[in-house]
Amino acid sequence: MNLTLRNSRIKLPLGQVFWREVGQGPTLIFLHGSWSDSSQWLPLIEYLHQDYHCFALDLLGFGDSQTPKLHYSIQVEVECLFNFIEALHLPQVYLIGHSLGAWIAASYALRHPEQVQGLVLLAPEGIRDDGDWKTWQWRKWLVGRPPLAYTILRSLLPLARLFGRHKDIERALKQRQQLLQSPTACQLLFRRRRVEIQGELLHEHLPKLDIPTLILQGKQDSLEVIDHAQAYANHSPNTKLQMIDQAGNDLAETVPGIVAQHIDYFVKYQ
């Protein structure tokens, strides 16, 4: 990788934000997923930086950005992004988001459509059905405070090993450990009331999302995530869904060249 990145920080009303920047041309702002940071985008930016001005942010509370004591929400992240764009006096931008970042990007476009020329959403979050809420309830229990789930699972593990039933518990403990690697994501996604999260979901608002939008979705991703991508495409009036073979959820890392081609075509010919 031969990128010469400019690493910068700026103090915004909600906290200090870190970003990586490179290139010239139309402005692309990259918003990472729940369990990552701006480094997620580096393989993709390597393909795009010669033709585009690329900004890869660490969302507030993630990566090298500040983690202020806030009640985190999608709207908090949207407000922080607005402050960032205003502070840097950026022209109209393209927002490129993965998972949680896609949810934030689409929410931002609904709130500030005059600032967004287009959206590229990879495996977007922000839509849930009854089955999704069952998964949410399980993960909420896993990362809950006090750590009741951890205490129960650890106490059951020795007995489960005696009966050869330990693998499920070990998988649950591993999942808990992975989730807790991003405390802000846990707070935002699982440590809020369900009614509050429901108020920020987008399925009822997508018909108003009239900005040109490209959704990129790996065919090897989970059925739940693929259903979300299809829901975005079905309910947004100016949206195209592109399924990508031989790729799962981590499109930007595993097939950056293919993703870059789709983004480049979208920006030039939307």
| Closest-CA residue to 119 (of 245, 216, 260) | 216
Classify the C-alpha dihedral 79-84-86-87 as positive or negative: positive
Q: Are residues 47 and 119 in the same domain?
A: yes
Question: How much is the pLDDT for 270?
Answer: 80
Q: What is the pTM of this model?
A: 0.96
Question: How much is the pLDDT for 3?
Answer: 81
Q: Are residues 59 and 147 in the same domain?
A: no
Q: Per residue of the chain (270 residues), what is the pLDDT tens digit?
A: 668 899 999 999 999 999 999 999 999 999 999 999 999 999 999 999 999 999 999 999 999 999 999 999 999 999 999 999 999 999 899 999 999 999 999 999 999 999 999 999 999 999 988 788 999 999 999 999 999 999 999 999 999 999 999 999 999 999 999 999 999 999 999 999 999 999 999 999 999 999 999 999 999 999 999 999 999 999 999 999 999 998 999 999 999 999 999 999 999 998
Q: Are residues 21 and 141 in the same domain?
A: no
**For residue 27, what are the domain limits?**
6-127+202-269
Q: How many domains does the chain have?
A: 2
Structural domain includes residue 208: yes
- State how far the Cα of 79 lies from the Cα of 220, in Å rounded to an integer: 33
Q: Are residues 17 and 94 in the same domain?
A: yes
Question: How much is the pLDDT for 150?
Answer: 93
Q: Are residues 97 and 118 in the same domain?
A: yes
**Residue 12 CB neighbour total at 10 angstroms:** 19
Q: Are residues 103 and 146 in the same domain?
A: no
Q: Are residues 74 and 150 in the same domain?
A: no
Q: Are 19 and 62 in contact (CB under 8 A)?
A: no
Q: Are residues 86 and 157 in the same domain?
A: no
Q: Are residues 34 and 110 in the same domain?
A: yes
